[in-house]
Amino acid sequence: MEDFAQQQYRTWLEELRNAEALLPGDSPTRERVRRIRESVESMRRDWRNRARLPEFEMFLEVTARPLIDATAQLQREIQKELDENEFVLVDGGDIPERYKGRVAQYFKDLSEAETKDAR
């Protein structure tokens, strides 16, 4: 944990800032990542001021587990966006008169091609 306290805090903070910047401003996940980053910064200040290493279990509680939760929340947000923007083919009604012959020919050719492929 000492090596982490001396070297890796900066990397963690940079990565958390990058993740936060990538998320939309109104995303609840961005807010969670911001709180996690602030907690890591607080732990780093505490270590520097008191030369007291953070306990590994406490570090997990403050960072790793909330990041796992934030990841799951982000996956739900992404899925929600995908569901809202899903392309759905809607039957627009009848084929315009001027295209009916071409459409009929297309389906006839398609069915004949499938028959040939089946042989």
CA gap 70, 31 in Å, rounded? 9
CB 32 within 8 A of CB 69: yes
> How is the chain split into domains, by residue range?
2-84
Q: Amino acid identity, residue 101?
A: G
pTM for this entry: 0.61
CA gap 10, 19 in Å, rounded? 14
pLDDT (tens digit per residue) in 51-98? 777 777 888 888 889 999 999 999 998 898 888 887 666 666 788 889
pLDDT (tens digit per residue) in 4-45? 666 677 888 899 999 999 998 988 999 999 999 999 888 888
Show Cβ contacts of residue 59 under 8 Å, excluding neighbours closer than 6 positions. 1, 4, 43
